[in-house]
Structure formats: structure tokens, C-alpha cells
Structure 1
Amino acid sequence: MHPLIAVLLIAALVFALALLWLEARHRLRPASPLQLSSAGWKVKTKSDQLVVVKGRIRISNPHPRMEVFVPELHLEPTLLGRGDLSALTVTTAITPHHPDEQARPDGYWFAYIVKGRKSTEAELSVRISAPAGTDLRALLDTLWLQIRWVHYGPFGRLERRDAVLVPLRKPAPAQPDSPRWRQGERCSVLPIRTHLLGSLDDPAEVLRHYAGAVLQPGDVLTIGETPLAVMQGRYNHPANLQPSSLARLLCRVFHPTSSLATACGLQTLIDNVGPARVLCAWLVGTALKLVGSKGWFYRLAGEQARLIDDVTGTTPPYDQTIVLGPSNSQQVCRQLAAELGIAVAVVDVNDLGRVKVLASSPGCDEALLERALRPNPAGNANERTPLVLVRP
């Protein structure tokens, strides 16, 4: 065998082994199997000065054998509103509903063991009160409730931070005589205002509630990729991430404004597609860039490489989190179109006139969307118009 060929074969073998080591290290890193889900949230207005929000969380352990402790669980409520909220008083309470242990009457969260293939629940309560003369219903907008909890087990001690968004008020649905209709290029466009969306919302119900009264055959209803992603729960606090050496090193080569230019932003991509794919995409992309062919990293690393929004990349309170792109966008469009009876598309639009249709239902006129959405009628600030109806 020619010495050069032997050297190339050895180099290829070493590189392959390095990729296998990266993947094995990534997949075998310490991790907790516990999963947290939330449901049943209700907002009760007791009076003009008192609002009570209640919901439930479930902590599940899908592992067949591992037992995991939950020694700490705390709530951190943040209110978003339409004015100064400094005079309000916010108190929280956690009431465990363990299947085998009674809750303490003093409200103390005692360390609880979630056994393999078991789960437990707890009721969360947030009480918001205001001084006399304050109308809370006019002042409040959204509750952002962060749940900080500790996992303790064979993997060590891990701190997790999850969050649920609860709307405290909702705008009225769009009506056929809405003054917000705009005239575009051979089309009419209606930005549709909604409440601040979150993981408690169902996309079909949101579209039906806010846009149902104005839909006509031939319309195309678009939804922004980030609002759809947050409804799917695809956001994560950087505190939950443990950036690898690869993420800390490789993030430095991206443009400072890129969502992959931070260790946590790039680690989000690595967790999504794996370290071997990210490294290979960067090596091939860099080599092709040197010969004048750009953009190959994002093609090879997958769709999420372009869609991840790092901290500050989305509207508050998601500006404190890293938001991925939506999952199964094509399937979602098909399902929504079947339920609503019109074409549906998931889009990514910015103020620079860039329109990207990520997915659309069959028969959708994407050329129409390009014309209609180029002026970015939904906006990129805090307009809260994630839905845009386009009518030819």
C-alpha cells in the first residue's frame, strides 16, 4: 500500500474514532430522567384587588429502575402588565399530592423520591393582590411562573428551571369589519392580535378562536415560527444547559450576532442534532467557504441551526430563554388546514423584507405569501400579532 494512502486511512480512522468518542460522551453524560408537565391552569378574579391563579404540575420518572430525589421545589412568579406593578403583592403556595405521602400542613416541600415508572403531582397557587382603588384586571397581562427544582440521584445533583406562561387577559377575536386590514400587492392582509402565547395553548384552538370569524375560502392563514415553537414548549432556560468543550470552543467562530455565537446557544444545537454532526458540518462548511461556497454549515447541520433564537432573540419573557424552531411544521400545517378549511403556513419574516415559508399545507400559494408578508405586517417588536391572514 502506498504510504500516503496508509496515512490517509489512519487519519480517517482516527477522525471516525474521535467522532464516536464525541457522540458517546454526549449521550452518556450525567442526566436525570425526570420530566415535568403542567396543566389545568385557571385564573379566578376574586375582586378588583385580588386575582388567584391555580394549576397542577406532574413530575414523571420514565426510567424502569432509577429512583430520583426531588429535595427542592420553588416558585418564582414574574408579572407582565400595562403599568407600574411595584405596589402589587404576589404570594405562592405549593401543595404536594404524592400518591403515598401526605402533604405537610405548613406548606414545606419535603424531599420526595420519584421511583422508576412512577409520578407525583402538586398544585401550584399564585395569589396577586393590590391596594384599594387598583383595578387588577386592567393592569395585569401575563404571569410568567418559573419552577426551580433540584434532581438528586446517581447522576449527581442537577438544578433545573422550567417555566409556564399563564395569560391573565386576552384580546377580543378578529372581526370581519376589523380596521386593521391592510392593502398589499394584489392582496389584503390582516394582522391578528392574540394573547401572549405559551405551552398551555393549543395551536388549533388559538387559530380558531382568534381568526375563525374572518376566515373565507381562498384565504391563507400564517403563523410565525417562534409562536408555534413556544406553544410546542420548545424553549429552554440557559441554566438547564451544560455547555461542552466543543460548544465553548466552536461558538467563537460564528458571527457575534448569530444565535450560535454563545456556548449555550451552540449547545442547544448540539443537544438537538449531536456533536458529530455539528463538528462535521463546521469542518465541511469552512472548507467550502474557503473556495467561495457559503452557507453549507447551516445546510449540513440541519434546519434548527437557522431557527434557534438565543437569549434576547424573542419577545419577553421568552427573551430569557433559548427558543428552538418548531417541530413537525409540515404535519402541523396539514392538520390545521384540515380543521380550519383554509391553507395554513408557518413563516419566518423579518423587517429586512426576508420571507421564508418553513412549511405550508397542500395548495398554498407561496408566491402570494412572499408578496403579502414582505412588509412584515406582523412586526418584530411587541405587537403580539403572530397570526396574519392573507386574502388574494
Structure 2
Amino acid sequence: MLLVVLLKVVVAAALLLAITLVWLELRHRLRPASPLRLSAGSFTVEGHPDWIRVSGDVTIRNPHRRMEVFVPELDLHPTLLGRGDLGGVRLRTHVEALHPDEETRPDGYWAAYIVKSRKSTRARLSLEASAEPGTDLQALLDTLWLEVRWVNYGPFGRIWRRDGILIPLRRPTPLEGASAPWRAGDRCQVLPVRTHLLGTLDDPETVLRHYAGGLVQPGDVLTIGETPLAVMQGRYHHPETVTPSGLARLLCRVFHPTSSLATACGMQSLIDLVGPARVLGAWLIGTALKLIGFKGWFYRLAGDQARLIDDVTGTTPPYDQTIVLGPDQPEDFCARMAEALGIAVAVVDVNDLGRVKVLAASRGCDEALLQRALRPNPAGNANERTPLVVVRPA
């Protein structure tokens, strides 16, 4: 009799859990959200010792088949990164609406605009930085972080969006093979490759060819950090654009304070990727297994992104203000780059504690070689700006 009662209790608990998971998933998937997406085109940089001008276009698309969304506000908030005191640098920004069905206002005022279903509009963004005569801006400035703050207004309410566009104002000269500072490793040679600060305006293949194409030879392995690849794919967002659910606020409290899932926005970012049912289910099963001595199952069940999300301060400026997700489809990326460059390519996650994780690698890549070569973390974890590392067997 007792066994029958216990069985009924277990069945009832399992049924209640299943209903809860289905309810959470449906509530998450059916919640109202803005369909608008902002993407940046190419930007031009004109330089002079006393001034620098930057201009480029952004496109706002509405892929929804029925919903129409208002864009009542759009403004620019630039941040300059440089190699000295930037207090004397003056900034002037301008937004020019390029709507397909309205004339451009000469005064630069952004009039509220409706982006209809399956339609798009554009805007031209420009910025001029100037300083006192005698100030060499080209030597002082390094990078422009141009944040577009815009409002979406529709059935989902009124929400602010923040899209950061990174525009390099100077780029390092690619290394040459004869003068490259190779480092001796464990039965291999290692070469960290410096690049400019990478962003969504960069094409990954172009970056690899430009900075490493003249250095590699058959048998080499070219690695790229998972975070630089993710930011080139646009997989980052500002925490202000995240609305933490009750589940995210609750679950984040049980993670170690140094974890990227220990904040409500970090946890919600994972929930938005894989769904609340998977996250809650992974936590319940992972906690149960942890009680009997099996650790790490939450991350296995929640998926790779659970380990790869970098919360605020987890990456180099200006991405230290954002939440950076793991890269999208790194296996396909490695296969395409290996075919394009003729060498093995790998996406890696390395830290100063000697941990080396190969997220993805092209066919035939020697992962044991990568473990030996990357354990000292030759790329560094600070602001070295060496996202690429060439590994050459001894």
C-alpha cells in the first residue's frame, strides 16, 4: 500500500513538473517582443591631425509578416578609446534619416517613423572629432564605440534598444614572416598575432587573411578566440536590453558569484538562447546529481552556451559593458576557414589558469598539439589584442 502511495506521489510530482516546464516554455515563446533588427553597413574614416570624420549607414529591418513597429526616437552616444587623455577632444554627431517613402529633414530631427511588416528603412550616421591645433588625433585615438540608442514602440510596449558598433580608427601593420616574434613551446612554436579591436564591421575570413595569411604555412594551426569570433558575429547585447524573468532572478542566486550566470541578466541571456524549460530542467537534474557526487551536469544539459556566456567585465573594453554570447556554429566556421586558407583552423577558449577548451576544429586538427601550445595562454587575457595564435609543430 505504501509503495502504491509513493508511486502516485512520484507520478503526480513528475506531471506537475512537466506542466510547469511546458507553461514556462510557452509563456517565454509567446511573450510579445519587437521584431526589428538593426544592422550596420560599411563605415568610412577620414583622418587629419586635427580632426577625424566617421560616417556610415545602418539598416532597420522588420521581418514580421504582420506587425508594424514605430521608431519614435534614434540617437547616437559615441565613446572614444585612445592612448592618452581625451578630455580635449570635441565630438559632434549627426543622424540623417533615409526613409524610402519620406523626404530627409535638413535639420537632422528624427521624426517618428513606422517600419511596416517585411519592410526596412535606413539612417546615415556621422561623427566628427576635433581637438586644439597641435593635437595629433590620429596618434591619440584608437577606436570609436558608436552606440545607437533607439526606441521600439508597438504591441509589446515601448522599449529602448542599444546597439553598439565598433569602428577602428587605426590598425596595426600585419606581421611579416621574417620578423615575426615566434615563441618556443612544448614541441612547437607559437605566434600570437595582433589585430585591431574587432567588431561586427569585420569579416572573419578577411581578418584571418589580412593578419595571418602571410605567416602561415602547411602544417600550421591557426586559432581564434571564441569571444573575438562571437563579437564579429554580433553576438553581444547591453544588459539594459534584457528583461530578467522571475526564474532568472531565482536561479542566478545559486551560482558562484564569479560565474557569468550569477546575475539575473546573464541567466536570462541563457534562457533567451535555449529556453526556460531546458535551463530549469538542467538545474533540477544537475542539482540532484551533484548531491550524489556527480558535478558539472547543469552545463552539460543546458548546452555549450551555458559555459561560454561572458557577463559584464568578462571581455576587453568596450565589450566589458555588454554580455557576450558564445560564437554561432563554430564547427562550420572552422571548416570554411580551413578550406579558404589551406591550413587547420580552431576556435578556442583559453584562460590564465591553464585551461584550454577547443570549441571546434577543422578536420585533421591536432588537438593534443593545441593543448600543449595554448596552456601558457600566449594570447593573454588582458588588452593584448592578439585574438589569433599560429601554432607550428616543432
TM, length-normalised to structure 1: 0.98
CA distance in 2, matches of 1:352, 1:176: 30
Q: Distance in 2 between matches of 1:155 and 1:269?
A: 21
Matches of 1:371 and 1:382, distance apart in 2? 23
Q: CA deviation at 1:107?
A: 0.6
Structure 2 counterpart SS, 1:36: strand
Per the TM alignment, residue 67 of structure 1 is displaced from its structure 2 partner at its CA by 1.1
Q: Which amino acid aligns with 1:224?
A: G
Question: How much does 1:313 deviate?
Answer: 0.2
User: 1:277-312, CA deviations, whole angstroms, 9 ceiling, x for partnerless residues?
Assistant: 000100000001000110000000000000000000
Superposed, 1:234-313 pairs within 5 Å as 234-313=235-314
Could you say which residue in structure 2 is the equivalent of 1:326?
A: 327
* Deviation readout 1:258-283 (Å, 9 max, x if unpaired): 00000000000000000000001000
1:158 paired residue number: 159
* Residue of 28, 31, 46 corresponding to 2:30: 28
The corresponding residue for 1:9 is 11
- For 1:19 and 1:214, locate their aligned partners in 2 and report how far apart those are by CA, in whole Å: 52
CA offsets, 1:292-345, max 9 Å, x none?
110000000000000000000000000000001101111100000000000000
Question: Residue 41 of structure 1 aligns with which residue?
Answer: 43
1:342 maps to: 343
Kindly provide the CA deviation profile for residues 144-173 of structure 1, in whole angstroms up to 9, marking residues without a partner as x: 011100001111111111110000000011
SS in 1 for 2:177: coil
Task: State the SS of the aligned residue for 1:177.
Answer: helix
Percent same amino acid among aligned pairs? 71
Aligned to 2:69: 68
For structure 1, list consecutive stretches of 5 or more residues without a partner in the other structure: none
Cα offset, 1:24, TM superposition: 1.1
Match of 1:19 among 13, 18, 21: 21
Q: 1:11 Cα deviation (Å)?
A: 1.9
> Which position in structure 1 is the counterpart of 2:221?
220
Stretches of structure 2 lacking an aligned partner (at least 5 in a row): none
Runs of 4+ in 1 over 6 A off after TM superposition: none
Shift of 1:180: 2.0
- 3-state DSSP of counterpart to 2:179: coil
Alignment of 1:123-272 (within 5 A): 123-272=124-273
Count of residue pairs brought into register by the alignment: 391
Per-residue deviation, 1:66: 1.1
Residue 387 of structure 1 aligns with which residue? 388
The one-letter code matched in structure 2 to 1:49 is D
Structure 1: distance between partners of 2:86 and 2:6? 71
Whole-Å separation in 2 of the counterparts to 1:15 and 1:283: 10
Separation (CA, whole Å) in 1 of partners of 2:202 and 2:192: 19
After TM superposition, the structure 1 stretch with the greater mean CA deviation from structure 2, 6-15 or 26-35, is: 6-15
The 2-side partners of 1:185 and 1:375 are apart by 10
Deviations 1:330-379 (A, max 9, x none): 11000000000000000111111111111100011111111111111100
Q: CA deviation at 1:65?
A: 1.6
State the alpha-carbon separation in 2 of the partners of residues 321 and 214 from structure 1: 33
CA distance in 1, matches of 2:357, 2:117: 44
Deviation at 1:179, TM superposition (A): 4.5
Superposed CA deviations along residues 51-100 of structure 1, whole A, max 9, x for unmatched, are 11001011111111211110000100000001111101111100011011
Counterpart for residue 91 of structure 1: 92
Q: Secondary structure at the match of 1:265?
A: helix
Aligned mates of 1:280, 1:140 — CA distance in 2: 48
Supply the distance in 1 between the matched residues of 2:278 and 2:17 (Cα, whole angstroms): 13
Q: Give the equivalent residue in structure 2 for 1:368.
A: 369
Task: Determine the C-alpha separation between the residues in 2 that align with 1:331 and 1:179.
Answer: 29
Q: Deviations over 1:156-195 (max 9, x none)?
A: 1111111100000000111112342101111111100000
Cα distance in 2 for residues equivalent to 1:302 and 1:248: 20
AA matched with 1:17: I
Instruction: Give the aligned residue type for 1:325.
Output: G
Q: 1:198-226: per-residue Cα shift (whole Å, max 9, x none)?
A: 01111110000001111111010000010
